[in-house]
């Protein structure tokens, strides 16, 4: 069959606008950023209006708390992006325009795009946020089963899991300690400029299902109210989860960012890549230097966990009031928090990735050819796929430098 397709493209330049709301915290120079886009391909009941609904509802909750006298420790920013479907335009312009400030102030970026397309929870994030994410899902109820979101998420992953006897390597490398894995961030939504350009710890989450109407004219209120979430109960759950995670990041005295998980994940990524390299008979890169870099990253991450515990215990022991011991304890916590925030930044460099210098993060990026999908340790892995040993060596060196910078950042704070 031959089809003659006539397309009618509209290339006018139009204005887009982002809407940014800010709740000032006591530490005004520390920002927890929530983001969701507002533009849609057509009606966008799922993508992005389910996320926008959740953001508005979380905002309403914050408003109630503010009336009761709550003031977060850190500032919370709620960002409604325009132009996402045209190439993450609104978020990218805003992140680039405010790059210097975000590098200094952003504690984390929490993205929700498709909040609800069904009842099955799923998430992607940097490993430093895994524990926070899992803890929040343990405290919120899945509306359909009455179990916690966490339990339902794990149970479903177990159901779907292929028989370990049939799958090569199944189950022997699940470092997350749970059945349901939190995926790596690639691209396809507004976390990209925050994580991959600026090095802000990021996550993306939502409830999925038999969607099938993605980016089509059927992504409508009719679809949502008949199939996606007829009782709109998962919309409520999404708002609860998002708001809870934002509040914990904003209010915790000690930032809930865990670099032991990060180090373990980098080790796992590297081991997977080494298998690929061996299969392809590629060598010439410094495997030992990488293993050493990961080892000290693991060690410093562990020391950071210990320092956090000590500092928090000290803070609890010393009574509030403007005495020297209190000031000292608070300054210590602040120093550790600053380092925890800076560690993700340290995984970026000014040079960026080969052939695409805008992507500064050396651990996470979408693949050159994979569209949305993540390609962890991007330049090393791409070189292996290209069977280019020289590029593999150079790419790995940049990754090692990034890990060493992250290690130093943790080390200096815990001295």
Cβ distance to Zn ion smaller for residue 48 or 193: 48
CB of residue 114 to Zn ion, shortest distance in Å? 6
* DSSP summary character for residue 134: H
CB of residue 63 to Zn ion, shortest distance in Å? 25
Is there a catalytic annotation at residue 309? no
Name the CA dihedral angle for 88, 93, 98, 99, rounded to a multiple of 10 degrees: 70
CB-CB contact of 49 with 42 (8 Å): no
C-alpha neighbours within 13 Å on the C-beta side of residue 46: 29
Cβ distance to Zn ion smaller for residue 72 or 90: 90
CB of residue 31 to Zn ion, shortest distance in Å? 23
CA angle 233, 235, 241 (to 5 degrees): 105
CB of residue 39 to Zn ion, shortest distance in Å? 9
- Cα separation values, 386 from 287, 344, 364, 383, 389, Å: 18, 28, 18, 5, 9
- Residue 288's Cβ-count burial label (10 Å; 0-12, 13-18, 19+) is exposed
Nearest CA among 346, 335, 331 for reference residue 414: 335
Indicate the SS3 state at residue 350.
coil
Cβ distance to Zn ion smaller for residue 90 or 376: 90
- Cα separation values, 17 from 80, 83, 90, 171, 383, Å: 9, 8, 7, 46, 39
Q: What is the rounded distance in angstroms from the CA atom of residue 155 to the CA atom of residue 138?
A: 13
CB of residue 18 to Zn ion, shortest distance in Å? 15
Cβ distance to Zn ion smaller for residue 54 or 294: 54
Q: Which residues contact 58 (CB under 8 A, 6 or more apart)?
A: 34, 78, 239, 242, 243, 246
Cβ distance to Zn ion smaller for residue 48 or 352: 48
From the candidates 57, 64, 84, 179, which is the catalytic residue?
Answer: 84
Query: For residue 106, what are the β-bridge partners?
Result: 31
- Residue 121's Cβ-count burial label (10 Å; 0-12, 13-18, 19+) is buried
CB-CB contact of 412 with 404 (8 Å): no
Residues that bind Zn ion (CB under 5 A): 47-48, 113
Cβ distance to Zn ion smaller for residue 44 or 395: 44
Cβ distance to Zn ion smaller for residue 79 or 347: 79
Q: What is the rounded distance in angstroms from the CA atom of residue 239 to the CA atom of residue 411?
A: 37
Known catalytic residues are 84
């Amino acid at each position: 069959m031959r089809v003659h397709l006539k397309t009618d493209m509209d290339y006018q330049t139009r204005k887009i606008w982002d809407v940014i709301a800010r709740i000032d915290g006591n530490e005004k120079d520390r920002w927890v950023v929530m983001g969701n886009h507002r533009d849609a391909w057509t009606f966008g009941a799922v993508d992005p209006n389910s996320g926008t609904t959740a953001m508005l509802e979380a905002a309403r909750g914050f408003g109630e708390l503010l009336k009761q006298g709550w003031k977060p420790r850190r500032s919370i920013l709620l960002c409604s992006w325009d132009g996402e479907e045209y190439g993450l335009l609104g978020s990218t312009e805003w992140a680039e325009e405010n790059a210097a400030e975000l590098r200094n102030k952003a504690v984390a970026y929490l993205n929700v795009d498709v909040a609800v397309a069904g009842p099955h929870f799923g998430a992607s994030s940097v490993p430093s946020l895994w524990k926070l994410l899992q803890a929040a899902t343990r405290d919120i109820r899945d509306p359909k089963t009455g179990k916690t979101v966490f339990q339902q998420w794990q149970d479903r992953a177990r159901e779907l899991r292929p028989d370990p006897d049939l799958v090569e390597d199944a189950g022997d490398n699940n470092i997350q300690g749970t059945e349901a894995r939190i995926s790596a961030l690639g691209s396809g939504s507004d976390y990209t400029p925050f994580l991959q350009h600026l090095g802000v710890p990021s996550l993306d989450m939502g409830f999925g299902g038999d969607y099938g109407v993605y980016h089509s004219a059927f992504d409508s209120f009719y679809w949502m109210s008949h199939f996606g979430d007829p009782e709109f109960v998962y919309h409520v759950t999404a708002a609860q989860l998002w708001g809870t995670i934002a509040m914990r990041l904003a209010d915790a005295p000690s930032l809930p960012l865990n670099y032991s998980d990060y180090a373990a994940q980098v080790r796992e990524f590297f081991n997977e890549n080494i298998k690929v390299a061996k299969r392809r008979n590629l060598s010439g890169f410094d495997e030992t230097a990488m293993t050493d870099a990961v080892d000290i990253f693991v060690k410093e991450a562990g020391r950071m966990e210990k320092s956090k515990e000590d500092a928090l215990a000290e803070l609890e022991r010393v009574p509030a009031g403007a005495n020297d011991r209190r000031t000292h304890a608070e300054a210590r916590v602040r120093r550790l928090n600053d380092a925890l925030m800076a560690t993700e930044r340290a995984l970026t460099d000014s040079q960026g990735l080969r052939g695409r210098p805008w992507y500064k993060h050396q651990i996470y990026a979408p693949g050159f050819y994979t569209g949305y999908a993540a390609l962890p340790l991007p330049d090393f892995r791409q070189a292996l796929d290209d069977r280019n040993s020289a590029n593999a060596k150079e790419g790995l060196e940049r990754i090692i430098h990034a890990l060493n910078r992250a290690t130093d950042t943790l080390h200096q704070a815990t001295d």
